[in-house]
Chains A and B, each alone.
Chain A
Amino acid sequence: MTQPAPARPAGLRRKAEALASALPPLLADARHLAMTVQMGEHGRRRAGLGDEFWQFRPAHPGDEARAIDWRRSARADQHFVREKEWHAAQSVHLWVDDARSMEFSGDGRRTTKADRARLLALAISVLLIRSGERVGLADPVAPPRSGELQLVRLAQTFTAPAGDADYGAPEARAMLHGSRAVFISDFLGDPSGVERALTLAADRGVRGAILQILDPVEEAFPFDGRTIFESMTGAIRHETRRAGDLRDRYCARLAERKDRLATFARRVDWQFSTHHTDQPAQVPLLWLYHALERVRR
């Protein structure tokens, strides 16, 4: 849907095939991953509008007479009201960093951060949509909707080519008031953008989770010797004569960055976690699910 108008039919066909080739595996992977989180947590576990029976409660003054469950009340001296489980749909905004830095993988055998981020985003979408929520992107391109079709739409968006920037910043303009949000990125760029977005989100009553995805190499900094480090676009570079000497200071800075994000997230009542691409995706998915679960209540 963000594709530029094709110049030739052959080009369209090729691009469409390229797009479609990535789509089913991503969607399938996401569904597969989501399969692992069948927690049996259906419903909101609270009374509300919905179809499922939730509980009987004694009628209070003010309850409509038609709300009274006469069958239950007949078995007692009291009047009971039959409550249904609340089945309100929630809107969840996803932001998956598509900057070039996410394309990094420290080892050819490891998946890139971007792939992992997309997989997680789509998997949590699958889970949320399955439980009836509305899921969309944080930018106005794909507003939250429910239904299986939205999954396809999201998948298409996620397989779009990466942006040109080295580091991305979350988009908070399109977030609905009181909705939920998930930000997935490596957060290695300027943190002020994230903080700005979080502040904006908090202003709108949006709460959610921040998942930082890092490659193990970025965590361990296993370099030595004379090295020129370049960002993924090559725009930023740093030369050192002894990379090994920088290790401690780099790690300190990374820890500081994480701490800053975590502190800020706590301040606006968001959840924060870090995930490494050499670990299985189930763990952060579960964490995301629970994090959203927590804020959804």
Chain B
Amino acid sequence: MMVLGPIGFTAPWLLTGLIALPVLWFLLRVVPPAPIRRRFPGVALLLGLADEDHESDRTPWWLLLLRMLAVAALILGFAGPVLHPEVREPGSGPILIVADGGWADARDWPRRKDRIAAALEEAGRSGRAAALVAVTGDAPEVVFRSAGVVAAGLPGFAPAPYEPDAAAYAALAAALPSGGFDSFWLSDGLARDGRQVLLEALEARGRVTVFESPREVFALRPAVYGDGQVTLGVLRAHPAGEVAVDVVGLGLDPAGVERELARQVVTFGAGTGEAEAAFDLPAELRNRIARLEIAGQRTAGAVALTDDAIRRREVALVEGGIGREGLELLAPGHYLRQALAPTADVIEGTVEDMILADPDVIILADVARVAAAEPLAEWVEKGGLLVRFAGPHMAAADWDNAADPLLPVRLRSGGRSVGGALSWGEPKTLAPFLEGSPFAGLPVPDEVRVTSQVMAEPGPDLAAHTIAALADGTPLVTRKALGQGSVVLFHVTANAEWSGLPLSGLFVQMLERLAVSTRQAALGAEEMKGTVWSVERVLDAFGALDDAGDRPGIPGEDLAGARPSARILPGLYASGDRTVALNAIGAERVLTPAVWPEGVTVEGLVPARERPLSGYLLTFGLGLLLADALAALALSGRLAGWRAGRGAALALTAALLLPAPQARAEMSEERLIDAAGNVVLAYVRTGDAEVDRVSEAGLRGLSDVLFYRTAIEPDAPMGVDLEGDELSVFTLLYWPVTADAPTPSPTAYLRLNRYLRSGGMILFDTRDADVAGFGTATPEGRRLQALAAPLEIPPLEPVPQDHVLTRAFYLLQDFPGRYAGPPVWVEAAPPDAELAEGMPFRNLNDGVTPVIIGGNDWAAAWAVDDGGWPMFPVGRGLSGERQREIAYRFGVNVVMHVLTGNYKSDQVHVPALLERLGQ
């Protein structure tokens, strides 16, 4: 191979042909194009006419150049030019391909796979055994097999949504087989502990080549809520120049469609690897954000799932005891407000107003009888959480009657006091929370004492409803499910009168566990102790949320502060009403680029590819020769007919080259005005040119007949494109159904339905003589069923004898087209239609049937050619002409029916009216 700069030639000796080019020039120059002989009587007039110049007896210079270029291109093409010729030195022995396999690989995974495939292919070519291993894979095992076998498993090779840790690197290093082999490490470019261990182990076995993608790694830290803002850190691995990325917040809109709710441009300063995105959003919007991601980055690291941490609940607070004005520090609401204000949005008002506001939680503090019990119960059943606190009013109320559905347990009237001046016993402490209680795992502070409480009626289900109890076993907090929601009752007041609970930190924790309030910071192991979290959605390496399937639950203490691993995948975890997001990137993660020691070859992901150029050159040369042939023909005048056919040829070429014109374009204004300006019969374009032609001719024939015989003077019929045209301007749509008719788009169906509702009419014609009764056997019939299914078509019946269609203009008994006989279907008469004077009277949809369905091929019967003569024979002889006439009359009746509605139906009353007039 001869290499000249970036181009090599596989057959360089062919280039000597270029020397012949000047000879060719000389030869071509002296040989003029051959003359053409023509017989021409007018030659007598030509005699004596001399040519004006003699230039053209030599080949024109541009034609020469064209030919020279063509020949040169062919010579070069056959010489086998190759761009970036690769001259490789093959290795030997087995080759190990190592991929980090973490989320950072996902950013250019297809290219990595291609690279692996290329490496495997190369190994296969040179007969080397190969192994492919991902560091993130569990139980690493390195077995060398033939490259083809390894390549067969490549499609299933996918990155994991977490990163390998030092242990994983060490495990792989330990699993490496002894014996020499070369290694091929597809690094994700991030520095990690343990990389060095593996590198050393690999270098001990043989040559190590590292491939790294130049593509930048971006990542998002978990979102944090603070000071009314959602903030999150944005990371990059290579702090080089200034780079701006878009961080977008995605979530469901009120219609349940995921869309972009917030977007912010974050700019990394030159040389910094960290930036911060701060979203200042209204609570409504903020609560909707389900995930934040870096636009255009499809990795798990560039996604920050949100959980309760940035969601703030709306809590409605309704207080009883309005009379105690002034004692604000003693009011029950005060403690609740203090507990909730940092983490929830508190609204206050009457119960009715609060239900309208539809908060997450409604808290009733010492309200014995709820004014709007019914709507409140409904609200709870729809998933609301109602939290009630006891108090003097509740204790004083009379609970002897039936159970209040808005209380979890039946209460005794009166309540009890312990440890007071007039009572025996000490104030009670809290019993430890039982397993299964939402408060399980919370520490019970000693200083909380309960002096008064309302008492529950003992019952078989009391224990089941109790989620917190005093040391003596009496319930402190009870809960009951009601519909999809639940009702929780604290048997003590929300202020410090009855107990010290509201003064303790436990109160806030309990509210948080009940999902009344939301936490501010990440849950610690302590707070999550005793809970089991089930994973609801898992994040894959590409940042997409998948269903978790049936993965086992994770204990809270494991989940708290967990680093994502094969056991605990990043995703959304839920326990009760609370959700926790585990992101691929921890809150303290910093991205640093991997540093490789000297001596390790680091290559980019895409090697310079060899590119054979001969195909291009040969194509170019052939194209030039083609152009030369055309030019030579044109010069010698042999392109006869070219002049005449030029327009057509150009149009054809353009039609072939250009993409299909925008057939779906909106209806032009002129067409709209034409259609709206007068009555226009329209047909649906089926895409079958012949059918469309017949439809057009048929409607033209019908229009002519209408023009001659009736007061309707329609304009020329129009073809309607269901996708783009405005239908409301058309009176009648004739829709010939072909067996392969394309289905209109949903928007087209929307328009069709609107058209039908607003009084339009569609005349369906299966044109198959409806041999089997409509829609049962013929392909057109089945197609009609499929086409008409999304249309709002009322119940149908064969045209009854007294239908207005039979007398809208002509008196008709049957409705033949080119075929006669099969019944024609129209909207059924209303079931309550009475036989008033011998016919059902309808006033539905102005009495106009929205569809007429038949298979008589009316258009063919109506069709006339440009001269006004029928295009198709109908029947035989005079009876056939009679049938055509009846077909025309049917058409006239249909158009009359559309235009005049039930007018003719009313005509039946004329005798009665005349009689009443005393005639």
Contact = CB atoms under 8 A, between A and B. Distances in A.
B836 interface: no
B52 A245 contact: yes
B42 A226 contact: no
Contacts of B638: 225
B43 A231 contact: yes
A250 B46 contact: yes
Contacts of A257: 45
A257 B52 CA distance: 23
B737 to A, nearest CB: 42
A138 B433 CA distance: 137
A215 B40 CA distance: 10
Interface stretch (A19-27, A73-81, A236-244, A288-296): A236-244
B41 A186 contact: yes
Interface in A216-253: 217-218, 221-232, 236-246, 249-250, 253
B51 interface: yes
B644 to A, nearest CB: 9
Given A236-B47, A238-B47, A241-B54, A218 B38 contact: no
A226 B36 contact: yes
B38 A227 contact: yes
Interface stretch (B27-35, B551-559, B620-628, B797-805): B27-35
B57 A230 contact: no
A186 B44 CA distance: 12
Interface in A190-205: 190
Contacts of B662: none
Nearest to A240: B51
Contacts of B49: 238, 240, 246, 249-250
A225 B33 CA distance: 9
B51 A241 contact: yes
A254 interface: yes
Contacts of B41: 101-102, 104, 166-167, 186, 188, 215, 218, 231-232
Contacts of B53: 242
Nearest to B46: A238
Contacts of A246: 46, 49, 51
A86 to B, nearest CB: 43
A226 B56 contact: yes
Contact of B643 (A222, A240, A242, A254): A222
Contact of B43 (A190, A236, A242): A236
- The bracket for how many chain B residues form the interface is 20 to 34
A215 to B, nearest CB: 8
Contacts of B33: 225-226
Contact of B38 (A228, A236, A249, A250): A228
Contacts of B40: 104, 217-218, 223, 229-231
Given A236-B44, A237-B43, A238-B43, A228 B51 contact: no
A223 B51 CA distance: 14
A189 interface: yes
Interface in B38-84: 38-47, 49, 51-54, 56-57
A160 B640 CA distance: 34
A218 B36 contact: no
Given A104-B41, A188-B41, A226 B46 contact: no
B41 to A, nearest CB: 4
Interface string B408-434: 000000000000000000000000000
B134 to A, nearest CB: 72
A230 B45 contact: no
B37 interface: yes
Contacts of B637: 223-227, 243-244
- The bracket for how many chain A residues form the interface is 35 or more
Contacts of A242: 51-53, 56
Given A223-B637, A224-B637, A239-B35, A229 B52 contact: no
A257 to B, nearest CB: 7
A254 B51 contact: no
Contacts of A186: 41
B635 interface: yes
B44 A188 contact: yes
A167 B43 CA distance: 11
B637 to A, nearest CB: 3
A225 B47 contact: no
Choose among B39, B52, B56, B638 the residue with the greatest number of A CB atoms under 10 Å from its CB.
B39
Interface in B759-784: none
Contacts of A226: 32-36, 56-57, 636-637
Contacts of B47: 236, 238
Contacts of B54: 241
Contact of A231 (B35, B36, B44): B44
B52 to A, nearest CB: 5
Contacts of A221: 42
Contacts of A249: 49
A229 B46 contact: yes
Contacts of B42: 188, 218, 221, 229, 250, 254
A169 to B, nearest CB: 13
Contacts of B37: 227-228, 230
Contacts of A232: 39, 41
A271 to B, nearest CB: 23
A96 to B, nearest CB: 16
Nearest to A244: B637
B32 to A, nearest CB: 7
Contacts of B35: 226-228, 239
B35 to A, nearest CB: 4
Contacts of B636: 225-226
Interface string A100-117: 011010000000000000
Contacts of A227: 35-38, 637
Contacts of B45: 188, 250, 253-254, 257
Contact of A230 (B34, B39, B640): B39
Contacts of B52: 242, 245
Given A218-B41, A228-B35, A228-B38, A241 B57 contact: yes
Contact of A225 (B36, B39, B44, B46): B36
Contacts of A229: 38-40, 42-43, 46
A229 B37 CA distance: 6
Choose among A217, A221, A228, A242 the residue with the greatest number of B CB atoms under 10 Å from its CB.
A242
Given A226-B32, A226-B56, A227-B38, A167 B51 contact: no
B288 to A, nearest CB: 74
Contacts of A167: 41, 44
B133 to A, nearest CB: 73
A244 B642 CA distance: 14
Choose among B33, B39, B42, B43 the residue with the greatest number of A CB atoms under 10 Å from its CB.
B42
Contacts of B32: 226, 241
A230 B56 contact: no
Contacts of A254: 42, 45
A175 B297 CA distance: 103
Contacts of A238: 43, 46-47, 49
Contacts of B640: 222
Contacts of A223: 38, 40, 637
Nearest to A253: B45
Contacts of A102: 41
Interface of B: 32-47, 49, 51-54, 56-57, 634-638, 640, 643
14 contacts: A102-B41, A188-B41, A224-B634, A225-B634, A227-B35, A227-B37, A230-B43, A231-B39, A232-B39, A236-B43, A238-B47, A240-B51, A242-B51, A243-B637
Given A229-B43, A240-B46, A242-B53, 13 more contacts: A104-B39, A104-B40, A166-B44, A188-B44, A222-B640, A223-B38, A226-B33, A230-B40, A231-B39, A231-B43, A237-B43, A239-B35, A241-B56
Interface of A: 101-102, 104, 166-167, 186, 188-190, 215, 217-218, 221-232, 236-246, 249-250, 253-254, 257
* Across the A-B interface, the 3 shortest Cβ-Cβ residue pairs: A225-B637, A224-B637, A101-B41
